[in-house]
Amino acid sequence: MAKESGISKILAGTFVFLTISVIAGIVTMIIFYKTEIALMDPTPRPMFTSSTTSLPPVIRLPKNLVPQSYQVFLQPHLYTRIIEVVNVTSPNQTMLFTGNSTVTFHCVQGTSVVYLHSRNLDVSGPVVMNKDTNERIGVSSMKNEEDTRNFLEIQLNAALEAGGNYSLFLAFNGEITENLNGVFVSTYVRLSFICIHRFLAATNLEPADARTVFPCFDEPEMKAVFHVTIIHRRDTVALGNADMRDSNILDDVWKVTYFYPTPKMSTYLFAFTVSEFTDSADSPTDGRTYARPDAIAAGHAKYAANITGKILKFYENYFGINYEQKTLDQIALPDLGVGAMENWGLITYQEGGLLYEDGVSSLLHKEVIATLIAHELAHQWFGNLVTMKWWNDIWLNEGFATYLSFFAVAHMEPYSKMVSSLHNQDSFEVDALASSHPLSPPQEDVQMTFEIEDMFDAITYCKVQSNETRNEYIYDAEDEDGGHTTVAKVMNTWTKQMGYPVITINTTNGEVYQKQFLFNDSSESSDTSNGEWILANVNCAGYYRVNYNRENWERLSTQLETDPHRIPLMNRGQLVDDAFNLARAKLIEVTLALNSTRFLQNERALLPWESTVRNLEYFVLMFDRSEVYGPMQACGMKASFCLHSQILAIDVACSNALPECSAMATKMFANWMDNNRTNRIHPNLRSVIYCQAVAAGGAKEWEFAWDKFQSSIDTSEKDQLREALSCTKKIWLLNRYLKYTLNPEKIRLMDVGSTILSIADNVAGQALAWNFIRAHWEYVSNGGAASLIEGVTRRFSTQFELEELERFAADNNLSPTKYLQQAVEQTQVNIVWVSENKDSVLKWFENETAS
Ligand SMILES: [Zn+2]
């Protein structure tokens, strides 16, 4: 409590500054922008026809065989210490896994060919048995097709009969990869008298990499029970989806761990890890939290271990359905290609998503961890228990989990209540800008692996509302063995909590769309007959946006200006958010949205400010283009007008380059540099202080931050420094930093994408980042091509940029994936937005500041 009151004082003081700074900044910017634009020769926007490509070849498995269960034996031949690699004659031995699997399946339609998935595996020794008669069926041929379908085709001497039960045994070996997919190797340094490099093996299989671990029916709806056995080195611990059943020493080197059978689950949720990790003593009885032994000893997994049980209990009560398994393990991996993965019973996280250090990590980081854990735990029901039939409906997994996570965290951590309500608004952003794929496209549009991967974008994660509920798909996925009751229970929770996206209220003719949602507890009117305002969704209890007729919007704005406290705090934030998003969806005029922010002059609470700042971010993105429109300093514009969506308003003050903030940051950072060992900067302020100090400083500050980044063993500190390094305004330092991303010793492969993105977020670095990813596309796109393109092109708003983007796609022969189409579409929309809104926005600001 004491820590936060200190911040509030600074906040209160900066609000007045902020009002002036934000408004003045935008006005200066727009006046400048207008002059610049007037000098340009506007080119008409070319017409783009939506590309209708012919349907891809069918890559789905035939549905004549239905898997029931798998017996999987796996042995990763992985040394845990680099020291031993030296003594090994063939270093390759350390990077192989061997194994065998027996899948039992039911035949629903006679066939003499078995198709299942296998990729990058050397498969041998097929044995097919009739489980009903115990007779062996001869195999005439087996081949792994060399196309994108990844089919392993096994021709039999006799046909399998409908109604029969069969099994297929296969032996295989594969490679432990270094690219964070399939079974991959991760390295970390264990500190003792000398630094020792350690290795661990882990998996990441969503959406279509289970087939690289063992041959399987690798489609989400083809669920089965998995009985897993792992042979691993004696000094390691093996974790799997289910709890350990037994474990024996085999010889001087090897040990075997048997796991209980899993619930019936999809292949993409399969997971195992083999490591020397230990678990936190704070873990609840029904779950364990694993991490590097150093991190566990330092107590960094404590927070995660503590809240996991609570969140799990919350969901169990909320859904009325207990968690399906006996235990739930979570593990913080030094390398992971995604933030976290919800593998049933063994959730994997990047270290930053699970490890928290008191006194070093910020409150914001704590909240990120809580929200991420809540998201992954929500998946244990949404996604794992109830699964979409096919990847086109992945939004059901991600949208529900995202929504529920904010809900759970708000109940868990009182400090985040306010912030969570804002995140809710994030998660149902009506983004007219990124509308390139419907939430649930037809199945035939999502066939190839790249198309499946495309589905994991912002729309899927954030846009959980839809004009019709599509629950038939989840029902489909669970219609066996009484799944209906379970699913109905889960769906009830959803339908009770979720609203349709926009409720429109017209106070002149009394028309209300979607009124069934209005008749809940949350409509407050101030005597409409008097021409007063009406406010729906009081305290944001419902999950939907509200639109009004113009008169009511204006009345609400006036009410806010004259006496904001008649409108609940939550709604003051929500009104701003709704207004801006409705404006972006062209449902209301942009000036109405701007009007809704007038009351900020008297607003002292954080929430409406945060909401405004976040929404103005798009304005800033579009207008703060020094490299496009010329140097802003020329007209007295503050160089850094980057209103990143920050939780703390102190961030906003600093990001607006208030001289007070910049000076404070520089001073605090200088103290740290002088003092080298003792960092007295408050953890909550570190990310912003670091960034500001590096931005204001030169090579000395940058190199100090780089040294600290290299030497720090704390994930949270490392991440903050890594981001701060991208804040410099020095082009040569940004170029050097970009080059470092090509060296995994300097920047881990999993961090390459986010590092480039933070450089692109910096106005000074955006063009550099765009050039850089084009020059090194093959390497950098490993860490997620979609988010790179999306991030680097966010500010694109000129014809020239549009052409560059299109040329890049053509030159690289990039498949016409959705993320490229989205980036192109976004740029087109930006161009239109700027041309449609610049005059009215400018006029609004001129009027506001004139009075
Ligand atoms: Zn998720």
Mean pLDDT by 10 residues, the chain (851 residues): 31 40 44 40 35 50 94 90 49 75 96 95 96 96 88 95 97 92 88 74 94 96 96 95 95 95 96 94 76 92 91 88 89 92 96 87 82 92 84 75 80 53 38 37 63 55 36 33 44 40 64 43 48 66 69 85 80 81 78 80 68 70 50 27 38 64 84 84 81 91 95 85 94 95 89 92 89 88 76 87 88 71 83 83 72 56
DSSP string across 379-435? HTTBTTTB--SSGGGHHHHHHHHHHHHHHHHHHH-GGGHHHHHHHHHHHT---GGG-
Ligand 1 mean position, distance from CA 738 (Å): 29
- Residue 401: per-residue pLDDT: 82
Distance 401 CA to ligand 1 centre (A): 6
Instruction: Report the pLDDT value the prediction gives residue 778, as an integer from 0 to 100.
Output: 84
Distance 317 CA to ligand 1 centre (A): 21
699-711 helix and 715-724 helix, angle to the nearest 10 degrees: 160
Q: Report DSSP state, residue 119.
A: -
Ligand 1 centre distance from Cα of residue 63 (Å): 27
* Exposed e or buried b per residue across 333-366, where buried means at least 16 C-beta atoms within 10 angstroms of its C-beta: bbbbbbbbbbbbbbbbbbbbbbbbbeebbbbbbb
Give strand pairing partners of 347. Answer: 330
* Dihedral sign for Cα atoms in the order 698, 701, 705, 708: positive
State residue 161's pLDDT score: 95
Q: Which helix (H) or strand (E) holds 40?
A: none
What is the 831 CA–ligand 1 centroid distance (Å)?
A: 32
- Ligand 1 centroid to Cα of residue 460, in Å, is 10
How many whole angstroms from 379 Cα to the centroid of ligand 1?
7
Binding site, annotated residues for Zn(2+): 375, 379, 398
Return the pLDDT at 17.
Answer: 41
Q: For residue 128, give the 3-state DSSP assignment.
A: strand
pLDDT of residue 425: 40
* pLDDT for the residue 81: 66
Give the total residue count for the chain: 851
Run of H or E residues at 90: none
Distance 374 CA to ligand 1 centre (A): 10
pTM more than 0.75: no
Structural tokens at position 656: 């607006």
Residue 397 C-alpha to ligand 1 middle, in angstroms? 7
As annotated, the active-site residues are: 376
What pLDDT sits at residue 539? 59
Q: pLDDT of 203-220, one tens digit each?
A: 999 989 999 999 999 999
Known binding positions = 375, 379, 398
Q: What is the pLDDT of residue 638?
A: 29
Ligand 1 geometric centre to CA of 96 (Å): 30
CA distance 762 to 174: 42
Bond from prior residue into 659 cis (ω within 30 degrees of 0):
no
E strands in 540-621: 543-548
pLDDT number for residue 129: 97
Span 753-802, pLDDT tens digits: 889 999 998 888 989 999 999 899 888 887 667 778 888 888 888 899 99
Q: How far away, in angstroms, is 339 Cα from ligand 1 center? A: 9
- Please, are residues 587 and 547 in contact by the beta-carbon 8 Å criterion? yes
> What pLDDT does residue 653 have?
62
pLDDT for 108 equals 95
How high is the pLDDT of residue 657?
58
Distance 337 CA to ligand 1 centre (A): 13
Distance 456 CA to ligand 1 centre (A): 9
Ligand 1 mean position, distance from CA 376 (Å): 6
Tokens standing for residue 429 = 């952003």
Cα 395 to ligand 1 centre (Å): 9
d(CA 467, CA 832): 26
d(CA 37, CA 744): 43
DSSP state of 49: P
Q: Is beta strand 182-191 parallel, antiparallel or unpaired with respect to 237-240?
A: unpaired
pLDDT at 441: 56
